[in-house]
């Protein structure tokens, strides 16, 4: 499970891309393209390799005026699934 002080990073070879044909954001990764919904795109847009998970989710909670615990729970699930597929690195 991703902890509050953990710092998520998109590793080399994984990047956000706006798909003009399908009019949606996707995450491009080795031999994969993952369609992102608005929530997924919002979370990954905050991942900059510098800020911690707690800082990211607090920022999102403020930006979208939503409960921080709920944001943290959803984000942890989403980012954890990306980490399991090696699309995200997490440093402690």
Partner 1 sequence: MTPPPPIAMLAELTHRCPLSCPYCSNPLELARIDAELDTGTWARVFQEAAELGVLQLHLSGGEPASRRDLAELVRAARDAGLYTNLITSGIGLSQRRLQELDAAGLDHVQLSLQGTDAEMADEIGGYRGGFARKMQVAQWIAEIGFPLTLNAVLHRRNLHQLPRALEMAQEMGARRIEVATVQFHGWAMKNRDALMPTREQAAEATRIVGEARAALKGRLVIDYVPADYHGDYPKRCMGGWGTTGLNVAPDGQVLPCHAAQTIPHLSFENVQDRSLAEIWHNGAAFNAYRGTDWMQEPCSSCERKTVDFGGCRCQAMALAGDPAATDPVCVKSPHHGALQARAQGHAATEGATLTYRDAPPKTAREPAE
Q: What are phi and psi of 32, to 5 degrees?
A: -140, 150
The footprint of partner 1 on this chain (CB under 8 A) covers a number of residues equal to 18
Measure CA 60 to chain center: 11
Region binding partner 1 by CB under 8 A among candidate stretches 1-9, 52-60, 64-72, 84-92: 84-92
Report, in Å, the least distance between residue 55 CB and partner 1. Answer: 23
DSSP assignment letter at 11 = P
Calpha distance 83→6 (Å, rounded)? 12
By CB under 8 A, is residue 12 in contact with partner 1? yes
Residues of this chain that interact with partner 1 (CB under 8 A) are: 11-14, 17, 19, 21-22, 26, 28, 30-33, 83-86
């Amino acid at each position: 499970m991703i902890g509050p002080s953990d710092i998520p990073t998109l590793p080399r070879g994984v990047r956000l891309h706006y798909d003009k044909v399908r009019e949606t954001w996707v995450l491009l990764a080795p031999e994969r393209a993952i369609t992102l919904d608005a929530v997924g795109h919002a979370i990954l847009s905050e991942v900059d390799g510098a800020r911690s998970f707690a800082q990211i989710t607090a920022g999102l909670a403020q930006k979208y005026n939503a409960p921080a615990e709920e944001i943290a729970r959803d984000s942890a699930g989403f980012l954890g699934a990306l980490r399991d597929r090696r699309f995200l690195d997490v440093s402690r």
